[in-house]
Structure 1
Amino acid sequence: MTRELRRTLGVFDAVVIGLGAMVGAGIFVALAPAARAAGSGTLLLAGLALAAVVAYCNAMASARLAALYPASGGTYVYGRERLGPFWGYLAGWGFVVGKTASCAAMALTVGAYVWPEQAHGVAVGAVVALTAVNYGGVQKSAWLTRAIVGVVLAVLVGVVVVCLGASGPSLGSGPGGSPGGVLQAAGLLFFAFAGYARIATLGEEVRDPARTIPRAVPLALGIALVVYACVAVAVVSVLGAAELASSAAPLADAVRAAGVGELAPVVRVGAAVAALGSLLALILGVSRTTLAMARDGHLPRALAAVHPRFQVPHRAELVVGAVVAAVAAVGDVREAIGFSSFGVLAYYAVANASAWTLGRRGRVVAGGGLVGCVVLAFSLPVSSVVAGAAVLAAGAGVYAWRVRAGGR
């Protein structure tokens, strides 16, 4: 039975859900590959700043659109309403596929920190557990995310204090870099900023969305940027870009290098908790976009059902959880980051193009976001670009086939 979702989230809950997605994804996963691409600590920070600028443009576009279209689905809905059904479908396809990869990456991060020898098994267990939490209602998810964000921020504060109190390589140390390296680092770090999309995709469950979403999105993004910048400076100041680039657990290695090795187990727990928070928010976002696409017939309509008691898209959540668990059972964390970044940058390119149609106010920001998304997407590693483009092309092919079949 198809129903409307229940509006229970205020500004604070929306901000916390966005932070839960962003903080877990970026600090513990994306810093190392971004440092490898940038080549030095200074260029890594430049890439972080560039990713933040593009994310800000996307956030403003998403906030304006979400206030007009407060329904589940985010950019899938905006593209459909402002640009036409194909562009909405392509955005939704890119989001669902890209964020499914992100979910698997976060689940594998939990496994790598909790029990490295059995990382895939732990990852599957985490997906099953969090899918059960989401099934119980979005308010339960928000309560759990509050606890997770509190723990993670406390751990990160400890890391920053310890690292900044030690001496180590300078920010500029490293083998060097190039403008292309900065762009690639920004593209990889964008993976970390994309969590604010959870706020928009939950638009149907937010109270007073025209007021709440435009406040929550930039607030969550601003807090995340401050956290990222502080942690990046602290870690690079101890490890240097070269050692950071080769580290599998950079924050734990940083506190060891700072002479406080006894804090490393705490950091590992914080990393696992952060990844759980990100995974929780990601599953929420993917299931809501799946719900919106199912309502329009782009996915099986059975996935549009809303549970009569818990008021959640329970079938969509179960299917998303099953797919993520399957990918986590065999996937690789670092390959998932680039693939996910390409899909999500394509998603936000559609969001900015949709915002461009709203009128002159905000067009500079929307245009900057559109250009930034395209440039960063094609600055990613070649394997990520090829895989991402192939998946988008496959989605477009399925859409064209369905249109022709429907016409006949």
Structure 2
Amino acid sequence: MTALVRRLGVTDAVVVGLGAMLGAGVFAAFAPAAQAAGTGLLIGLGIAAVVAFCNATSSARLAAVHPESGGTYVYARERLGRFWGFQAGWSFVVGKTASCAAMALTFASYAAPGQTRLVGVLAVVAVTALSYRGVQRSTRVSLLIVVLTLVTLAVVVVAALTGGTASTANLTGVDPGGVLQSAGLLFFAFAGYARIATLGEEVVDPRRTIPRAIPLALGIVLVVYLVVGVSALLAVGPDALAATAAPLRAVVEAGSFADLSPVVQVGAAVASLGALLALVLGVSRTTLAMARRRELPPFLAAVDARHGVPYRAELAVAAVVIVLVATLDVRGAIGFSSFGVLTYYALTNASALRLGPDEGRPPRWVSVLGLVGCVVLAVTLPLPSILGGLAVALAGATVWAVHRRSTDRLPPRNN
């Protein structure tokens, strides 16, 4: 087997992390967070970043010990047992499928606010067709999307601060009881941070590079999000942010730079489509891996001979996403996604706690804080997200029980 080339330094790894985190989530997550906590969303943003740091650190140490694709689906299977590995994979698939719906709805909210469901469904169909043809996001495309996202966010900040509506009087209405819920919702905007943890075979001196790159990338993203969040709150206040599914467009349209609104629409639309394509690719591949282990229906493991893609898994994911787009709003999709992803990373931290001292185990307080943080944020999400997440977890346990019963009935293999 040919090893990957170690050529990425700290700066390169940070850029990869920025590319994974600076995406469409920032264009949508401030709305439900403002509804939950008012200006207290800024505190929630900091809490979300701390939990993300703990999760990413645990992921990095586990990736160094288990250098194979699958993430926590593999880590939990090896460290906690097959059932917990299945639950991790199940939570990832469910949570990221809801993320697909959130991205499709975000795209539609900015591109065609009057027809969000129809346009959201069309976006899913178009992205699935591209994915089926073997079209994937290259590094250059990812970098282009990051640059476009930063330019768009810069436009939002300038318009918010100089458009004539910015006032400290808008920094009112803190709801302390909703701070943790806002943190759980804003956790969605940090999705992708663990991408750095998967670079073990491609970075120079990974034990030194990855632990340095993770806090740097998270710190930069946190600063960007804080600047955008403070600017948006100064410009329109939390109530206006909470009242729309396209909060950053509303910020620009509120002031004298309303003519720049199309720039924000284009930037958000491109970032959303890019994120949607990346998510469809990731969810369908995890579905393929689980189907190959017969932990999901085996017919989902089919790969198209011509295009080399798991077409049945992609079509199944697209079908579920279309149902979610047709039935959920952006807030519901983000909350449901956050519950699944927080469950996934709770299992990541639990797996990291089973590492030995000779395996590069992270400081115990990091994994404990990450585990507790994930659980607390998950149970403080909006009640429909919690109930839906628990129902899906129960469904996963049922699928696992059926799977175990069917495999236990198989005759033993002959040597």
TM-score (normalised: structure 2): 0.85
Following the alignment from structure 1 to structure 2, what is the Cα–Cα distance between the partners of residues 270 and 36?
24
Residues 18 and 291 of structure 1, relative CA distance in 2, 3 Å threshold: farther
> Quick check: 1:35 aligned with 2:34?
yes
Give the counterpart letter for 1:244 in structure 2. L
Q: How many residues align?
A: 400
Q: Answer with 376-385 or 129-138: which moved more.
A: 129-138
Residues 332 and 141 of structure 1, relative CA distance in 2, 3 Å threshold: farther
Deviation at 1:103, TM superposition (A): 0.2
Task: Find the counterpart in structure 2 of residue 24 from structure 1.
Answer: 23
Conserved 8 A contact 1:6-1:311? no
Give the counterpart letter for 2:322 in structure 1. A
Give the counterpart letter for 1:266 in structure 2. V
Give the counterpart letter for 2:400 in structure 1. Y
Give the counterpart letter for 2:21 in structure 1. M
Q: Answer with 278-287 or 138-147: which moved more.
A: 138-147
Conserved 8 A contact 1:286-1:320? yes
Residues 242 and 382 of structure 1, relative CA distance in 2, 3 Å threshold: same
Deviation at 1:79, TM superposition (A): 0.6
Task: Find the counterpart in structure 1 of residue 119 from structure 2.
Answer: 122
Residues 190 and 290 of structure 1, relative CA distance in 2, 3 Å threshold: same
Q: Deviations over 1:20-46 (max 9, x none)?
A: 55333432111011112113x2x2111
Task: Find the counterpart in structure 2 of residue 177 from structure 1.
Answer: 175
Task: Find the counterpart in structure 2 of residue 405 from structure 1.
Answer: 406
Deviation at 1:188, TM superposition (A): 0.8
Task: Find the counterpart in structure 1 of residue 324 from structure 2.
Answer: 327
Conserved 8 A contact 2:294-2:403? no
Give the share of equivalent positions with the same residue, in percent: 59
Task: Find the counterpart in structure 2 of residue 252 from structure 1.
Answer: 249
Following the alignment from structure 1 to structure 2, what is the Cα–Cα distance between the partners of residues 216 and 297?
36
Task: Find the counterpart in structure 2 of residue 68 from structure 1.
Answer: 65
**Structure 2 stretches lacking a partner, 5+ long:** 410-415
Q: 3-state DSSP class of the match of 1:299?
A: coil
Residues 218 and 69 of structure 1, relative CA distance in 2, 3 Å threshold: farther
Pairing 1:226-237 to 2, within 5 Å after superposition: 226-237=223-234
Following the alignment from structure 1 to structure 2, what is the Cα–Cα distance between the partners of residues 314 and 322?
12
Q: Answer with 263-272 or 217-226: which moved more.
A: 217-226
Deviation at 1:144, TM superposition (A): 2.8
Within the candidate set 207, 215, 219, 1:222 is matched to 219
Within the candidate set 341, 355, 358, 2:355 is matched to 358
Q: Answer with 47-56 or 210-219: which moved more.
A: 210-219
Deviation at 1:73, TM superposition (A): 1.8
Pairing 1:4-403 to 2, within 5 Å after superposition: 19-20=18-19, 22-39=21-38, 41=39, 43-135=40-132, 140-165=137-162, 166=164, 168-170=166-168, 173-178=171-176, 180-197=177-194, 207=202, 211=206, 217-304=214-301, 313-360=310-357, 361-362=361-362, 363-403=364-404
Conserved 8 A contact 2:336-2:385? yes
RMSD: 3.1
Task: Find the counterpart in structure 1 of residue 412 from structure 2.
Answer: none
Give the counterpart letter for 2:108 in structure 1. G
Q: 3-state DSSP class of the match of 1:357?
A: coil
Larger Rg: 2
Give the counterpart letter for 1:33 in structure 2. P
Q: 3-state DSSP class of the match of 1:24?
A: coil
Q: Deviations over 1:34-61 (max 9, x none)?
A: 112113x2x2111100000001000111
Q: Answer with 359-368 or 163-172: which moved more.
A: 163-172
Deviation at 1:220, TM superposition (A): 4.2
Give the counterpart letter for 1:74 in structure 2. G
Following the alignment from structure 1 to structure 2, what is the Cα–Cα distance between the partners of residues 14 and 125?
34
Following the alignment from structure 2 to structure 1, what is the Cα–Cα distance between the partners of residues 116 and 341?
25
